[in-house]
């Protein structure tokens, strides 16, 4: 016991430091998303996050967008509490049978024009949880999806790149499912 205590006090951190985000690139990406949203909608983008059954890994990355470190609300990106105020639904996780109805109602409550972004490998086709008795499938099995952002989980930078790609493709009038 004493030895373990001594080792824990004298051994430094064994984990690798997290990679530092490229702040300038992130800021440029966020500005581009805001510009594209203003061109398309005439205002900033409002996002409603829907956890349809994820492990919360994807939520941690999505929440990072508005934490004190990334602080992307300064560029106009807003997370809203109600789907009635949202332009984009960011949906994570496999869709569990328990969340299927809630996801459908959230989709129906979101006014047009609206876009659905499925975030993470699980949102594509159920990922790790595909085939479980509790899983109804990927997001596209329940509601129409405009964009998939893959990764387990995707980083904040990948999330921003996805949102930008979505806005740029829709502003060119070719709103397609991918
Ligand atoms: S994609 Fe990965 S992080 Fe996201 S919900 Fe699935 S297992 Fe969790």
Interatomic CA distance for residues 95 and 131, integer angstroms: 12
CA angle 75, 76, 79 (to 5 degrees): 120
Residue 137 CA neighbour count, 13 Å, CB half: 7
H or E element in which residue 142 lies: none
Output the pLDDT for position 20. Answer: 67
Closest CA to 118 of 136, 82, 85, 142: 142
Per-residue CA distances from 145 to 16, 30, 81, 115, 163 (Å): 36, 22, 21, 7, 13
Residues with CB under 6 A from ligand 1: 54-55, 57-58, 92-93, 120-122, 127-128, 152-153
pLDDT in tens, 46-73: 999 999 999 999 999 999 888 887 787 8
Residues 69 and 20 sit within 8 Å (Cβ to Cβ): no
DSSP 165: H
> Please, are residues 13 and 55 in contact by the beta-carbon 8 Å criterion?
no
Pocket test for ligand 1, best of 50, 54, 117, 119 (most atoms within 8 A of CB): 54
pLDDT at 175: 45
Distance CA 57, CA 100 (A): 20
- The arithmetic mean of pLDDT across residues 123-149, rounded, is 94
Pairing of strands 95-96, 135-137: antiparallel
pTM for the complete prediction? 0.82
pLDDT > 60? residue 172: no
**Cα(93) to centroid(ligand 1), Å:** 6
Distance 57 CA to ligand 1 centre (A): 5
Stretch 110-138: mean pLDDT: 93
CA dihedral 172, 148, 109, 52 (to 10 degrees): -170
Q: What is the pLDDT at residue 19? A: 64
């Amino acid at each position: 016991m004493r030895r373990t205590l001594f080792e824990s006090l004298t051994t430094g951190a064994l984990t690798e430091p997290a990679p530092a985000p490229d702040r300038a690139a992130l800021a440029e990406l966020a500005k581009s998303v805001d510009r594209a949203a203003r061109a398309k909608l005439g205002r900033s983008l409002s996002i409603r996050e829907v956890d349809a059954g994820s492990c919360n890994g994807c939520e941690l990355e999505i929440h990072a967008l508005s934490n004190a470190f990334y602080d992307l609300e300064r560029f106009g990106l807003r997370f809203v509490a109600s789907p009635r105020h949202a332009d984009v639904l960011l949906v994570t996780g496999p869709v569990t049978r328990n969340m299927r109805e809630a996801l459908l109602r959230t989709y129906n409550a979101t006014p047009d024009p609206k876009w659905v972004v499925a975030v993470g490998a699980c949102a594509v086709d159920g990922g790790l949880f595909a085939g479980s008795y509790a899983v109804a499938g990927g997001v596209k099995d329940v509601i129409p999806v405009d964009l998939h952002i893959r990764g387990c989980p995707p980083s904040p930078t990948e999330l921003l790149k996805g949102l930008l790609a979505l806005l740029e493709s829709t502003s060119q009038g070719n709103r397609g499912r991918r």
